[in-house]
Amino acid sequence: MTLFLLVLFAALAFEYINGFHDTANAIATVVSTKVLTPRQAIVWAAFWNLVGALAGTAVASTIGKGLVDASAINMTTVLAALISAIIWNIFTWWLGLPSSSSHALIGGLCGAAIATSGGHWSVLHWQTIDAAGKHGGLWPKVVMPMITSPVIGIIGGAALMGLLIVVLRKMRPRLVGQIFGKAQLLSAGFMGYSHGSNDAQKTMGIITLALFTGTAAGIFNDLPAWLTFLHTPEFIVPKWVMIACALTMSAGTAAGGWRIIRTMGHKMVKLQPVHGFAAETTAAIIIHGATSIGVPLSTTHVISTSIMGVGATKRLSAVKWGVVERIVWAWVLTLPVTGLLGYLFDRLLKSCGA
């Protein structure tokens, strides 16, 4: 039971860090275009993250039971995964790099699962087909979207911005700024909602996995009656888990993440309200679509590349590609580094008797 409480604490700590680490996803553009002040933007993003986090559980199910063999997982595995993801998030936040919290958690879980299974890679669900004929596993749900979503983000951002340029070409710049200053409130809210609906569910899935594992192991059998809500014999995300994760992510979002906001909103490309609207709308549509089919997409990858695509319509030199290169390296390294950390922490915790 003590180990479960550590897992729960670590999961909520990860969710809180995810909130301030990924705040930039929803508000970097609306702050950089000066449509909202930083404080106003954080409140706006926190509200929509909260609403989005309560919207469903498809991504939670993918994380909890669709990527690794749940029968081979124990509480230590989950704790090791969370510790590795937290360390990577804090490290990239300190560097001001918008890396993926989603991939950090997935990498940590995969590495820890391999360690728990004694080094057997078969514990990972690389590709599966369920009874309904739907494809699942790491390749279609994680690796392929990791490759395709940035490409779609760049192309989609550039295409939407190009369309807006054609439609608005005869309008005065001042009028365009006024219109999209208001429209960006909607796009920023939609982005916050999409972020909450996808990212908050990942921690819901991890906590539910811990509850499911603990129930199977019998650690909740002798608890008092008022704690029977912890029993989770089937992998169904409890309502209290949804609410706890939603509130925690919203609180983390309210804390802000100024290092990453500066990188995405100022250092990568200079944006005006119409550019911010195009980037946020593109990213939100992509993320919302992924959430609806249970894909744990990297919201960071999508909004970053959407900003790149929008910025490139001004001219290629408008994007500061040196900053982009640092961001891409963070993306490439996230899965292998957190996978290794998850493996090492699982072995370390077990050697300490956990």
Mean pLDDT, the chain, rounded, equals 85
Does position 20 have pLDDT exceeding 90, yes or no?
A: no
With vertex at residue 283, the alpha carbon angle to CA 278 and CA 288, rounded to the nearest 5 degrees, is 130
Q: What value does the mean pLDDT take over residues 81-98?
A: 87
Q: What value does the mean pLDDT take over residues 186-192?
A: 90
Over residues 242-279, the pLDDT tens digits come to: 999 989 988 887 776 655 565 555 555 567 889 889 99
Q: What value does the mean pLDDT take over residues 138-152?
A: 88
Spatial CB neighbours of 202, under 8 Å, sequence gap ≥ 6: 18, 59, 60, 63, 101, 102, 105, 106, 296
Do the beta carbons of residue 276 and residue 37 sit within 8 Å? Answer: no
Over residues 213-235, the pLDDT tens digits come to: 989 888 888 888 888 889 999 98
Residue-by-residue DSSP string for 211-259:
HHHHHHHTTTTT--GGGGGG--SS----HHHHHHHHHHHHHHHHH--HH
Q: What value does the mean pLDDT take over residues 334-344?
A: 95
Over residues 40-52, the pLDDT tens digits come to: 888 888 889 889 9
Q: Where are the domains of the chain?
A: 2-348
The pTM (predicted TM-score) of the whole model is: 0.86
- The pLDDT value recorded for residue 26 is 66
- The pLDDT value recorded for residue 134 is 67
Tell me if residue 37 falls in helix, strand or coil.
coil
Q: Which of the four pLDDT bands, split at 50, 70 and 90, describes residue 5?
A: very high
- Of residues 223 and 165, the one with the higher pLDDT is 165
CA distance 313 to 225: 61
CA distance 93 to 90: 5
- The pLDDT value recorded for residue 300 is 78
In 3D space, the residue among 193, 203, 208 whose CA is nearest the CA of residue 296 turns out to be: 203
Does position 347 have pLDDT exceeding 60, yes or no?
A: yes
Does position 323 have pLDDT exceeding 80, yes or no?
A: no
Q: Which of 78-87, 182-191, 262-271 has the highest mean pLDDT?
A: 78-87
Q: What value does the mean pLDDT take over residues 6-14?
A: 94
- As a whole-number percent, the residues of the chain with pLDDT over 70 amount to 89
Does position 113 have pLDDT exceeding 90, yes or no?
A: yes
- The pLDDT value recorded for residue 98 is 67
With vertex at residue 142, the alpha carbon angle to CA 53 and CA 242, rounded to the nearest 5 degrees, is 20
CA distance 322 to 268: 9
Q: Which of 108-117, 137-146, 226-235, 298-307 has the highest mean pLDDT?
A: 108-117
- Of residues 320 and 138, the one with the higher pLDDT is 138
Spatial CB neighbours of 69, under 8 Å, sequence gap ≥ 6: 113, 117, 122, 123, 124, 125
CA distance 40 to 31: 9
- Of residues 275 and 33, the one with the higher pLDDT is 275
- The pLDDT value recorded for residue 133 is 60
Over residues 287-313, the pLDDT tens digits come to: 999 999 889 888 878 888 898 898 888
- The pLDDT value recorded for residue 6 is 93
Over residues 48-72, the pLDDT tens digits come to: 988 998 888 889 888 888 899 888 8
